[in-house]
Structure 1
C-alpha cells in the first residue's frame, strides 16, 4: 500500500520536499494508516509531520481514550502531536445543526487555525477509495448536478495551504490489511456500525453488493471522478463565457438579468452550468432543496412561456419580462415596492436618484437634444420648480405628434419595461404636475429646441447609473 500511496502522491503532486504537513488523526484505521505511511516517507521527502487529534466530547471516556491513544502512538513514532476538545453538543444546539455537521465544522475550524499557527503547507486527511464510492452513491440519490459527481477532491485550497487526501487510491480492505501488517491496533468507533446515517447504510448494505460485481470498484469510481473533474473544469471555464456574454450582475444589489436571446445561443450543457454559476452568485449558500425541478422550470420560462414568475427556494424569484429573465430575492421586491420618491430639481442644479442615476438641470443658450436622455423646452412653457418622482395611478403624458394623452402604464408595456422597474422609473413634471418627460423613453409635446423666438432654453439631462 505504501508504494501505491507514494505513486499517487507523486502523480498528483500532493507533497513537496521540506513541507510541513498536518495530519488529522482520530485513532481509527484510516487516519492511523495515513499517519504511518507519511511517517515512512518522512526522511525521503524531508517532511515535518504534526498530528492533530480532536475530542468531540460525544462518546465520553471513549473519546478521551481515542485522543490518548493517538498521543501515545505519536510518542512511539516520534511524531509531534497537538490535541483539542470541542463542545459539539453546545455548538449544534446554538446553531441548530445536526451532530455530524456540527462536529465537522468545529473540527475543520481547529484544522484551519492550526494551519495558520504552524504555517503549514498541507493538511492530510484519511479519506479513502470506499469513502469516494459512498459519496458518489449519496449524491446520485440526492442530486442531478453533474459537478456533484466529481466526488471528494484529491486536493483543494485550505487555509494558507492545501488539503490533500493521499489514501483515495486505496480501499478499506487494503487499509485494514496494512494495519495488520504494521501491527497497528487502531481504535474503533461503534457508531460506524449503526445504519441510521445514510452514509453508514450505504457502507454496510450497498457497497458490499457493488463490490461483488466489481472488486476494483473504488479504483473504477476514483478514475471516473477524476475524468469528470477534468471535464467539469473545462466546461466551467466555458460557462463563464456565457455569463460574460448574456448575464448582467448588478453591483449594488444581489440581482442578475439573463438576456434570453444571447443565452440561447450557447449549448444547453453550458447554459445549465451558467445557471448554477448564477445561483452561486445570488445565494450565500445554495439551498439543499434546490433540485432539477426548479432548473427545468427556469429553462421552460426561458424557452417557451410568456411573461411569468417562478419562486425558487430561499425567497429567490425568477421573472420573465419580455427578452430577459430577472432573478432577485423577495425581500428586494418588497423593498422596491416601498421605494417611492419625489425630488425638486433646482435650476441650475442636480439630483441623485435612489439607484445612483443623476438628473441635471440648467439654462442654455443653444440646444439640439438627440435621443431620450435630454429634454429641452422654453422656460416660459413650464412652471418651476421641476420635480422628479415615481409614477402614480392614472398618470398620463401628452406626447409629441400625438393628439390626446397616453397612459404611462401603456408606454411601459409598449417599451417592454420589466414590471419590477416601472415603480421606480423617474417621471419628470413641472410645478403644476404636468408630465414633461419619461427619461430614456418618451417626451411630451412641450419640448422645443432652437426656436427662433427663444434666446435661452431649459435643458434637463438624465445620466443613468452605469452599474445598473
Structure 2
C-alpha cells in the first residue's frame, strides 16, 4: 500500500518535504492509517505533524473516548495533538441545518483556524477510493451538475494552505490490511453502520454491486473524477472571462445585465456557467431552493421569441427580458424611475442619476461625430440648454424625416428596454425643442451655418 500511496502523491503533487501537515483524525481506521503513514515519512521528509481531533458532542462519552484515544496514540508516536469539542446540536438548531452539515461546517471552521495558527502547508484527510465511488454515485442520483459529478478533489486550496487526500487512490480493503500488518489500533463510529444515512446506504448496498462488475472501479472513478474536474476548471475559467468581458455587473445595487444576442453567441456549456457565476455574484449565499428548473427557465426566457418576459427567483431576485437586453436584479432595486431636469452650462457638465456625464464646450471646429457626440451652431439654438427625462407627447424631428416622431415610438423602434426609457437623457434648447435623444437621434436646426462657434456635447458613460 505504501508504494501505491507514494506514487499517487507524486503524480498529483500532494506533499512536499520540509512542510507542516495538519491531519484530521477521528480515531477511525482511515484517519489512523493516514496519521501512521505520514508519521512513517516524518523523519525522512522532515515533516511537522499535528493531529487535529474534534468531538462533535453527538455521542456523549463515546465521542470523548475517541478524542482521548487519539491523544494517547499521538503521545505514543510522538505527534503533537490538538483537540476540541464543538457544540454541533446547538449550531444545528440555530442555523436550521442537518446534523451532517452542521458537523462539517463547524469542523472545517476549526481546521481553518488551526491552519493559520500553525502556519500549516497542508491539511491531510483520510478519504479513500471507496469514498470517491460513494460520492460520485450519490451525485449521479441527486445532481445534474457536472461539478458535483467530479467528486472529491485530490487537493484544493483551503485556509492558508491546501487540503490533500493521499488515500484517494487506494481502497478501504487495502487500508484494513495496512492497519493489520502494522498493528495499528482504531475505533469505530457506530453511526457509520446506520443505513438511514444516505452515504451509509450506498456503502452497504450500492458500492458492492458496482465492485462486483469492476473490482478496480476505484481506479476508474478516480480517473473520471480528475478528467471531469480538469474539464470543469477550464470551462469555468472561460466563463469567468466572458462574465467580466460581456456582462455589466453593478456592485452598488447587486444587479447584472447583458445583451442577449451576444450571450446567445456563446456555446451552451458557457451560457450555463456564466448564468451560475452571475448568481454567485448576486447572492450572498445561494438559496437552497434554487434548482436546475430555474436554469431551464432562464435559458428558455433568453431563447424564446417574445420581446419581453420576467422570472421570479428565490429571495426576490428578478430576471427581466426587455427586447434584446436581460437584467437580473433584486426587487428592492426596481423602484420607479425618478424624473430629472438639469440646466447644462457651457462649458460645463451634468452628472445624471445613473452615473452618466454629459459634457459641453464651445469649439471652432466641427469634430467628427459619433453616437456619443452632438454638434450644433451656437447661434441657431436658444440657450441655455437643458437635460431632462421624457414628457408625455414629446416629439422630435431630424434631417431627412418628414414631419416629426414621438419619442415613445423611437424607443420602441430602437428596442430600448422599458426600464430605461423613463430615465433616458434628452437634450433640449431653452424653447423646449429636442436637439438630441442622447445616443439615439440627433435633431436641431436643419441647415446649420458654418460662420460661428459650435456647441460640442459629449456623452461619458457610467462605469460600474
Shift in alpha-carbon separation, 1:92–1:342, aligned structure 2, 3 A: farther
**Equivalent position of 2:460 in the other structure:** 463
**8 Å Cα contact 2:134/2:202 also seen in 1:** yes
**Equivalent position of 1:105 in the other structure:** 105
Mapped partners of 1:12, 1:398: distance in 2: 69
Shift in alpha-carbon separation, 1:448–1:58, aligned structure 2, 3 A: farther
Mapped partners of 2:360, 2:274: distance in 1: 43
**Equivalent position of 2:349 in the other structure:** 350
**Equivalent position of 1:17 in the other structure:** 17
Shift in alpha-carbon separation, 1:83–1:259, aligned structure 2, 3 A: same
Q: How does 1:202-221 map to 2 (within 5 A)?
A: 202-221=202-221
Is 2:157 the counterpart of 1:164? no
Mapped partners of 2:372, 2:354: distance in 1: 16
1:332-360: per-residue Cα shift (whole Å, max 9, x none)? Answer: 6514x345433332333211122322112
**Equivalent position of 1:145 in the other structure:** 145
5+ residue gaps, structure 1, are none
- Of 187-196 and 59-68, the range deviating more from structure 2: 187-196
Taking structure 1 as the reference length, what is the TM-score of the superposition?
A: 0.87
3-state DSSP of counterpart to 2:370: coil
**Equivalent position of 2:46 in the other structure:** 46
Shift in alpha-carbon separation, 1:231–1:368, aligned structure 2, 3 A: closer
Shift in alpha-carbon separation, 1:139–1:428, aligned structure 2, 3 A: same
1:358-408: per-residue Cα shift (whole Å, max 9, x none)? Answer: 112344455567234333445566555433233344433344443443222
Shift in alpha-carbon separation, 1:140–1:327, aligned structure 2, 3 A: farther
Give how far 1:310 is off: 4.3
Taking structure 2 as the reference length, what is the TM-score of the superposition?
A: 0.88
**Equivalent position of 1:370 in the other structure:** 369
Mapped partners of 1:103, 1:424: distance in 2: 51
Shift in alpha-carbon separation, 1:116–1:436, aligned structure 2, 3 A: same
**8 Å Cα contact 1:378/1:448 also seen in 2:** no
Q: How does 1:394-409 map to 2 (within 5 A)?
A: 394-409=393-408
**Equivalent position of 1:231 in the other structure:** 231
Q: How does 1:235-384 map to 2 (within 5 A)?
A: 235-240=235-240, 242-243=242-243, 247-250=246-249, 252-253=251-252, 254-311=254-311, 312-322=313-323, 324-331=324-331, 333-335=333-335, 337-365=336-364, 367=366, 370-377=369-376, 384=383
Give how far 1:162 is off: 1.0
- Of 156-165 and 442-451, the range deviating more from structure 2: 442-451
Q: Which runs of 4+ in 1 moved over 6 A?
A: none
Give how far 1:314 is off: 4.2
- Of 225-234 and 383-392, the range deviating more from structure 2: 383-392
Number of residues of Structure 1 aligned to a counterpart in Structure 2 = 462
**Equivalent position of 2:36 in the other structure:** 36
CA-based RMSD: 2.9
3-state DSSP of counterpart to 1:370: coil
